Amino acid sequence: MKTWIPDSRNFAYLTWPQVDSLPRESTLLVLPTAAIEQHGHHLPLATDTLINNFVLGHALRLLPETLPVYALPPICYGKSNEHIGYPGTLALSARTFMDTIRDLGASVAEAGFHKLVLYNTHGGNISCIDVMARDLRAEFGLRTFYLSGSGGAKFDDLDPQERAYGFHAGEVETSLLLAACSELVQQDQYTVNYIAKVSDPKVLTPEGGPANFAWLTRDIAPSGVMGDPTPSSSEKGGRWLERMAASVAKALVAMAGFSETGRAESK
């Protein structure tokens, strides 16, 4: 797999004595979680994994050199059963995915580290990560953090329809891939599909409404695309990358400096 993680921030490139010399209290370890799953006719299966690495790699370059932050090798496979029926989707069950996070958390805690970030770029993983961030805190006393792919960056220059319903192989993911590795984008294979319209709100929606129905991609988006990749460009991808990397870097700095002290209620 391609990587944009700087060698100096790549945990797996260290020797064990080098790991042993890291400050246990303050070192922040980042565990990327993503997916290998269908992304329409035009994007590769590894899209979420590539985007994760592309954004995280750029965010790590923005950190002060002395801040002890390291990227662990990613969990490339995720909970992708919404994309079953599309050749190439390689999914883990929720249990396997959560057990994998638990076992890696156990190893990190066993080595004496305190801080672990779950950095996720696949929507289907979110519920599991939410549970595991708290479970790792409860079971091992790890100070765990959960960070979403964009780091909270705003996409206010995106059309409202695309912002609401362009979440799979749409303009953002396609533009990021064009900026990262355009040779992997089949630009003559775009398909457009929206699973709901912002201008026509319904009581039951697949995502984002007060009442949602559980969906499988094959039911609501036969081509595998949810969004419109047509207006994508590497220029937009580069712009969004910068914004996302800055937001992720800002969050990582806050996590590295986070301590419970002063947060307890004073009487």
In terms of phi and psi (left: phi > 0; alpha: psi -120 to 50; beta: otherwise), the region of 9 is alpha
Q: Provide the minimum distance between the beta carbon of 173 and Zn ion in the complex, in angstroms, as a whole number.
A: 5
Alpha helices (H) along the chain: 16-20, 47-61, 94-110, 126-140, 160-165, 171-181, 217-220, 234-256
CB of 34 to Zn ion, least distance (A): 8
CB < 8 Å & 24+ apart, contacts of 207-211: 207/165, 207/167, 208/164
| Stretch 44-103 residues interacting with Zn ion (CB under 5 A) | 47-48
- Minimum CB distance to Zn ion, residue 51 (Å): 7
**Residue given tokens 């094959």 in the structure block:** 218
Closest distance to Zn ion from the beta carbon of 169 (Å): 6
3-state secondary structure of 54: helix
| 3-state secondary structure at position 161 | helix
Q: Which residue has the tokens 């294979």?
A: 189
Residue with smaller CB distance to Zn ion, 47 or 148? 47
- Window of 1-9, 12-20, 42-50, 254-262 that interacts with Zn ion by CB under 5 A: 42-50
Nearer to Zn ion, 48 or 162 (CB): 48
Looking at the Cβ atoms of 27 and 80, the one nearer to Zn ion is: 80
Of 26-34, 40-48, 110-118, 242-250, which segment contacts Zn ion by CB under 5 A? 40-48
| Position of minimal CB gap to Zn ion | 48
* Stretch 132-171 residues interacting with Zn ion (CB under 5 A): none
User: What's the min distance (Å) between Cβ of 84 and Zn ion?
Assistant: 15
Please tell me the total number of residues recorded for the chain in this structure. 267
Residues in touch with Zn ion (CB under 5 A): 47-48
